Homo-oligomer: A and B are copies of this chain.
């Protein structure tokens, strides 16, 4: 079983939670890929550097200055610290941006009503490169950065990268995508962390969306996740603090395509 595991900003920002997660990740047997978000470190570094966070209608715009910051923080600080920590735990990690080995090609998001700046929409994932690394017992650690194959780095959402990496590898054998975040899974009642739904199918998801019971921030994540599940990949969602239980199916939510 190849496990593709995505961790978000909250885990990265908390040194103890990060180390605990990396201990569990390093201990997981078999081939694995880690996709990491950036966390709030980029925003903090940007503020300290005097780089303004530009928001349009509440959405972040990647200006050239902000692209430099996320390249430093996601591709440098976060990536290399995770890789060094995993190496210390006996996991032969290799940090990658989408430019490295031409891993993730993207096109700059077309300017419509909003110009998102240097935001990249993924056009392809280099499956052969991932297979090469995995076949040599290397563990890819992927930062949320893509490139346009013409010299420009682009900022790309880590959830989307995890989805596209999983889709690119679909069909190679048993494959699981695990989205780790702060909650113990998809909740029937957003206010009650005990209301984890063990298995969620598409029609149940649509029903939860229509009643508004689902936490709004979860919707893009679950839309992405169901898109992956439809390709035959097992998709699980749960807490980064419960990685061992997520790996054995004893925690979190499994998406079902029935």
Residues of A within 8 A of B (CB): 45, 48-50, 68, 71-77, 79-81, 83-85, 87-89, 92-97, 99-102, 132, 136, 138, 145, 147-153
Contact = CB atoms under 8 A, between A and B. Distances in A.
A95 B93 contact: no
Contact of A97 (B48, B80, B85, B101): B80
A173 to B, nearest CB: 22
Contacts of A77: 68, 71-72, 75-76
Given A49-B49, A151-B88, A97 B83 contact: yes
Interface centre among A49, A68, A148 (most CB of B within 10 A): A68
Given A93-B100, A94-B101, A151 B84 contact: yes
A72 B81 contact: no
Contact of A76 (B71, B93, B148): B71
Contact of A84 (B49, B93, B153): B153
Nearest to A150: B88
A91 B100 CA distance: 11
A229 to B, nearest CB: 31
Contacts of A73: 72, 76
A88 B132 contact: no
A74 B88 CA distance: 21
Which of A79, A80, A87, A92 counts the most B-chain CB atoms under 10 A from its CB? A80
24 contacts: A45-B49, A48-B48, A49-B49, A68-B77, A71-B80, A72-B73, A72-B77, A76-B79, A80-B145, A80-B153, A83-B100, A84-B147, A84-B152, A85-B151, A87-B99, A87-B147, A87-B149, A88-B148, A88-B149, A89-B151, A94-B101, A95-B97, A95-B99, A132-B136
A158 to B, nearest CB: 16
Contacts of A95: 75, 97, 99-100
